[in-house]
Structure formats: C-alpha cells, structure tokens
Structure 1
Amino acid sequence: MGFEQDGIIQVEKEELKELIKGDRKDPIIIDVRELEEYEEAHIPGVPLIPMGNIPNVVKQLDKEQSYLFVCRSGGRSQNVAMYLQSQGFKHVQNYFGGMLAWDGEVQSGLEWVVKDVSELKK
C-alpha cells in the first residue's frame, strides 16, 4: 500500500500494476510528461495530458473523480496532484517513482493524446 507525501497519496509500482490489470475506471490514470517522452514509452492505455496543459483543462475535469498522475520520476506528477488539490480536487494521487521505476509493459507512439477531457470518461 502506498503512503502520503505533502498531503498526496503515493501509489507504488505493484499497486499501479493491479489498478491497470483490473481495468478499473477509477482512478483515471493520466501521464503528465511531454509529448516526446510519452511517444518514446508509456504505459499502454494511459492517456497523456502534458503538465503544462493541466491549467488549461482544470475547469473541465470532474472534482469528484479520482485521478492518478504519472511522470518520469514522480516529481511533475506530484506537482500536478498538489496543484489540483489546491484547486479543490479531493481525490488525487501520484505514482511514486514514475516511469523510471516502472518495469511493466510499455508501448511507444502517440496512443492517446487527450484533445478533449470528455475522452477520459470512456
């Protein structure tokens, strides 16, 4: 089970693998790295919203939904979670260790770059 850091729940690798394997829609897992990083390697089925785009879409995100953020090392995703928490989101989590710690399946290419936040409800 994860732990808490700066008020944000930190999800560890094995827990994330279980969430992905379970094909659950809650939490919604979002990669917040840059386009090039995502294209090089990402967790299959996980959509991309680069960190810099989060302020542009924050009003479209559901504050009651649970979100789990992923980045390269866990730093940017932690900042995104803290930012959303400051905007009134109560259910935000960070993948601790990021893609550097990920040893599960990866995919390359631009599988799912979010253009409209309503896509996340699929």
Structure 2
Amino acid sequence: MSNPRLGAVQIPEVSPTDVPDDAYLLDVREDDEWTAGHAPGAHHLPMMDVPARLDEIPLDGDVVVVCRSGGRSGRVVAYLAQNGRDNVRNLDGGMQMWEAAGKPVVSEDGQPARVL
C-alpha cells in the first residue's frame, strides 16, 4: 500500500493470530467505533489525534495499530515510520479480521461488543 501524500512506504503488517501477547494495541478508530467494540487492553487514540499525541505511543516494544479494516491504521503506521518509529505494524484486516479470527472484543456501552 502506498499513499501519494506520504510517498511509497512499505507498511509492515501482522495477522490477528500473530499479534504478540505483550504488544501495545493502538486503536485509531473514532469514539463511536471504540465504544461499540475493541480489543481488550487496547489503547484508544483517534487517527486525527496521533500527531498531537505522538509522545503517548511507546518507542519500545511491539506497537500494533488497528482500525476497522486496515486502511486508516496503515496510514498511521506510515506516518509513524516516517517519524522514526521502527516498532510499529498494521493489524492486517483490522478489527474485522480480529473478530473473524475469534479474538476477544469488548464494548464500553454495556451492549454486546460489535465491530462498526
């Protein structure tokens, strides 16, 4: 995947079944998507807030960035890589593939967890 505004950047990816147990999951979806369903233990940071809150993203260890299907998170991984981060990977297929792989999903609103 390449984004003309970001230049041709190789986006490292990881499948839901290969995410390390100790990875820092960075969910870059919007508030309503997060509330409806997200991976347990994930950290919510909407995509548009990433530049202003860059210091909240760990420099060490595995950082796996996730959105609904992998597009937005891929752009965030490219942005982070261009800002010197070499510990970031995109979750292949996003939360849709996470859920399809049988990985746990929790909600914040008391409703059954669902991926929007």
TM range (shorter): 0.7 to 0.9
- Deviation track 1:42-97 (CA, whole Å, cap 9, x = no partner) reads 11111100001100011454444431101000011110000011111111100000
The total of aligned residue pairs comes to 99
* Contact 2:13–2:92 under 8 Å retained in 1: yes
Alignment gaps of 5+ in structure 2: 1-8, 110-116
Is 1:47 the counterpart of 2:29? The answer is: no
* Contact 1:63–1:88 under 8 Å retained in 2: no
Distance (Å, rounded) in 1 between the aligned partners of 2:56 and 2:43: 16
Distance (Å, rounded) in 1 between the aligned partners of 2:89 and 2:58: 15
Distance (Å, rounded) in 2 between the aligned partners of 1:106 and 1:95: 15
The residue aligned with 2:84 is: 88
- Deviation track 1:7-33 (CA, whole Å, cap 9, x = no partner) reads 2221112112xx2xx3x2xx3111010
The residue aligned with 1:8 is: 11
Distance (Å, rounded) in 1 between the aligned partners of 2:14 and 2:50: 20
Alignment gaps of 5+ in structure 1: 1-5, 111-122
Matches within 5 A, 1:1-122: 6-16=9-19, 19=20, 22=21, 24=22, 27-103=23-99, 104-109=103-108
The Cα RMSD (Å) is 1.9
Distance (Å, rounded) in 1 between the aligned partners of 2:57 and 2:34: 21
| TM-score, normalised with respect to structure 1 | 0.72
Distance (Å, rounded) in 2 between the aligned partners of 1:99 and 1:47: 14
| TM-score, normalised with respect to structure 2 | 0.76
Moved over 4 A (4+): none
